[in-house]
Amino acid sequence: MESWERYTVCAFCDGGCAVKATMQDGRMRLEPADPALPAICPKTRMIDEYRLHPDRVTRPLKNVGTRGEPMWEPISWDQALDEIADRLKRVISQYGPTSVAFCETPLNHGFGGITRRLMNRIGTPNYTAPTQLCMGNTAQVHRAVYGWLAVSNWNAADVIVYFGQNRGPELWPAEFCKLKAALARGAKLIVVDPRATATTALADYHLRIRYGTDAALALGWLNVIVEEELYDRDFVASNCIGFDELRERVREYPPETVAEICGISADAIRETARVYAGAEAAIIPWGATCDMQSNSTSVLQAQCIMRAICGYLNVSETVFGPALGGASVSVLADHASLGREARDAQLGADAHPLLTFRAAELYDAANERAGIPYVPDIMAESVACVPPALFAAMRGEGPYPVKATFAVANNTVMSYAGQQGIVEGFLNQDLVVVFDHWITPTAQLADYVLPGDMWAERDALRPQYDVAPLFTACQQLVEPVGECKDWYFVVKGLADRLGFGDSFPWADRYELFDYQLAELGSSWEKACEVAPKPVMRKAVCLGSFVTPSGKVELASSVLATLGFDPLPAYIEPADPGADGGDFPYVAFAGSRDAATYNTNLHQIQSLRKTLPEPLAFVNPTDAEREGVAEGDWCVVESAYGSVQLMAHLDDAQPEGTVRIPHGWWKPEQPAGIAAGLGKAMLHNDGMLFPDEDWNLDPAQGLPNLRGGIHVRFARV
């Protein structure tokens, strides 16, 4: 019987648990790849339940019905790619190459950079990914301060600061293991979270701030650190610029002022600031809470400043910088090949430029000094368009039309704010192509749905995002179901048909992987032999800062050049629709459930039975006031839209607030616009939150979902 040992990474969520698979006597066993980090959750073992699900798309499908009311006809791959290429050519001929857009999640399909290479050959800069609301935007704020994303060194940490994270055996289990190990060593844990959670129960300090006031708290901490001279003077003098300006700014945020804003005590602010600054090796691990606020740039920048002035950079928070050796995601994308006219036409770059080509070009001189010959694209959001501007152009409300959209391993309709307008944009397209496993709400608006392989069915070369200087082989465990293909097969097929075949000379993914590894003296076969160990690139910028000044920029020259405040500040979130007082509760959206992964996994019955309905978490006092009982179906309504959710009464939920889940739809419900896209138009949080300019972080263009938008709720 077949016998083997392989290594891969589970992608049933974005926690990235490394998996060892062993085949013996015809049975496959899954376990953690690293015995010292025993982190895989039960989802990992549901490979067959997922891949063999009867609703999975396993053949290319063509919509022979109407947009939004699909009738699916199975077709061959050749017919699908031929027709898609022909229709794409017609769109480009009529509207120009910038009328083409891609919305992608590389983590879900395993090929970072290759989509951008295709787009750059087409001549369009209009790319977005959900990482605009989730680490990708964090990376660009880090870049404005350090020149690259800082990565926490858990093995060194003696103080950990969490902003809103709740980790557990099924919520980023690898990090949960690291957290437990750090606490066992005696590390202190500070958790900033309005709710009481399993993680706050582990904390030495739990700061229950008011939703959306994270930036004010961080500025209050900086006030204490600077005024009490708790910072690392030598590091600041040698490596930082802008400290005098920072000192003046943080004087505006004494603990008493911040305590009033956040709803906690000034003494708690002082004490926790001293604990952080007094550590030997503190970390502030990434968490999405700060990525979805109108003050996102400020809170992330303030965190960056704390790390820097307290001397933790390249001690417990590593800034690798762009690397050399091998064709990384950024090298493969070849962003330098996109013409000036196309770059200048990137949607949203005029108003919200921090995540666009307009900002990326401000690092060109720094990259040249560091000997970096490519355009770095950190977490797929260094050179992306701004989603609200893209969706407006799809509706015909932009500076030019977008008429062909590809949703690649990404349920675009449900992944952003302003869902109603996104649907309108998709309905206005001449061509919609979806690469996915399911007939998602986005796929229900498509002309073609192409069946992708899933993580256990593919060989892949990680990472799919440019951050750390390495490559890792992830090996296929089972054969793809039906006619499911990998994403490179699709890109190569389209490139050949569009006349760009010379830019994609690799016949298949293995030739591509060999090309990516060749400069390092490795190959796909060799990378598999050493797996799970990585093949290392050259971290030539480690210990330096690839910013315009070559220093840590406490006052960011990039933000200043783009026309924004170079220093962090707190501005109370606005909600003009709630001015009349008819919406008394503050909404917190985007919370993650252990049974799902964003909009995915609702099909899986073993998970669905643990969470059969979408829940709104409300405080019992608020529920009594509104006449709502446990399990009642409620309408939760903002001035911009409404959803229906089942009430769950929860003492941990602060009074005056409502916690809204993200990504809810019901795959078992009828498809199509008339039926509400499988109830996505009834349950998903994107229906409640606007993507209008006033609700966006000014520099980044991401929407405020976490404190500031007001709602009301009542029984259905």
Q: Does residue 500 form part of some domain?
A: yes
Do residues 302 and 346 both lie within one domain?
no
Q: What is the pLDDT of residue 14?
A: 87
Q: With beta carbons less than 8 A apart as the criterion, state whether 40 and 173 touch.
A: yes
Q: Does residue 37 form part of some domain?
A: no
Q: How many domains does the chain have?
A: 3
Q: Does residue 16 form part of some domain?
A: no
Q: What is the pLDDT of residue 70?
A: 96
List the domain range (segments joined by +) for residue 183. Answer: 149-319+546-561
**419-427 and 676-683 helices, crossing angle to 10°:** 150
DSSP 698: T
495 pLDDT band (50/70/90 cuts)? very high
- Tell which residue, 509, 671, 616, 557, has the closest CA to residue 145: 557
Do residues 595 and 557 both lie within one domain?
no
Q: What is the pLDDT of residue 230?
A: 98
Cβ neighbours, 10 Å, residue 592: 18
pLDDT digit string (tens) for 156-172? 999 999 999 998 888 88
Do residues 343 and 447 both lie within one domain?
yes
Question: Quick check: 2 pLDDT over 90?
Answer: no
Do residues 211 and 281 both lie within one domain?
yes
**136-146 and 296-309 helices, crossing angle to 10°:** 50
H helices of 412-523, in order, are 419-427, 487-498, 509-518
Do residues 189 and 291 both lie within one domain?
yes
Q: What is the pLDDT of residue 639?
A: 96
- Tell which residue, 244, 167, 239, 233, has the closest CA to residue 198: 167
14, 34, 334, 496: the catalytic one is 14
pLDDT digit string (tens) for 535-592? 999 999 998 999 999 999 999 999 999 999 999 999 999 999 988 789 999 999 977 7
pLDDT digit string (tens) for 526-538? 999 999 999 999 9
1 pLDDT band (50/70/90 cuts)? low
CA atoms within 13 A on the CB side of 259: 13
For 348, phi then psi, to 5°, come to: 90, -10
Q: Does residue 570 form part of some domain?
A: no
Amino acid at 238: S
Do residues 315 and 331 both lie within one domain?
no
Do residues 637 and 607 both lie within one domain?
yes
pLDDT digit string (tens) for 58-106? 999 999 999 999 999 999 999 999 999 999 999 999 999 999 999 999 9
Q: Does residue 137 form part of some domain?
A: no
Q: What is the C-alpha to C-alpha distance for residues 623 and 98, in angstroms, rounded to an integer?
A: 49
Q: What does the mean pLDDT of the chain come to?
A: 96
Q: What is the C-alpha to C-alpha distance for residues 368 and 21, in angstroms, rounded to an integer?
A: 43
Q: Specify the CATH number for the domain of residue 675.
A: 2.40.40.20
Q: When comparing pLDDT for 581 and 487, which is higher?
A: 487
Q: With beta carbons less than 8 A apart as the criterion, state whether 405 and 431 touch.
A: yes
Question: Quick check: 290 pLDDT over 90?
Answer: yes
Structure tokens at 401: 């039309």
- Tell which residue, 107, 16, 7, has the closest CA to residue 464: 107
Residue with tokens 């349950």: 683
Do residues 312 and 326 both lie within one domain?
no
* 703 three-class SS: strand
pLDDT digit string (tens) for 658-689? 999 999 999 999 999 999 999 999 999 999 99
| pTM, rounded to two decimals | 0.97
Q: Which helix (H) or strand (E) holds 213?
A: none
Q: With beta carbons less than 8 A apart as the criterion, state whether 366 and 321 touch.
A: no
* 318 three-class SS: strand
Cβ neighbours, 10 Å, residue 237: 9
Per cent of the chain over pLDDT 90 is 92
Q: Does residue 23 form part of some domain?
A: no
Dihedral angle at the C-alpha atoms of 294, 291, 149, 224, nearest 10 degrees? 60
Tell me whether residue 14 is one of the annotated catalytic residues: yes
Radius of gyration of the chain (CA): 24
Q: Specify the CATH number for the domain of residue 189.
A: 3.40.228.10
Domain C-terminal end among 526, 561, 596 = 561
Dihedral angle at the C-alpha atoms of 388, 393, 397, 400, nearest 10 degrees? 140
Per cent of the chain over pLDDT 70 is 100
Give the sign of the dihedral formed by CA 585, CA 587, CA 592, CA 595. Answer: positive
Q: Does residue 173 form part of some domain?
A: yes
Residue 411 CA: distances (Å) to CA of 67, 267, 414, 442? 17, 45, 6, 6
- List the single range of 15-29, 362-376, 497-511, 642-656 with lowest mean pLDDT: 15-29
- Tell which residue, 32, 108, 41, has the closest CA to residue 460: 108
Question: Quick check: 16 pLDDT over 90?
Answer: no
H helices of 228-362, in order, are 233-239, 243-250, 255-262, 266-277, 296-309, 329-333, 340-344, 357-360
Q: What is the mean pLDDT of residues 6-33?
A: 91
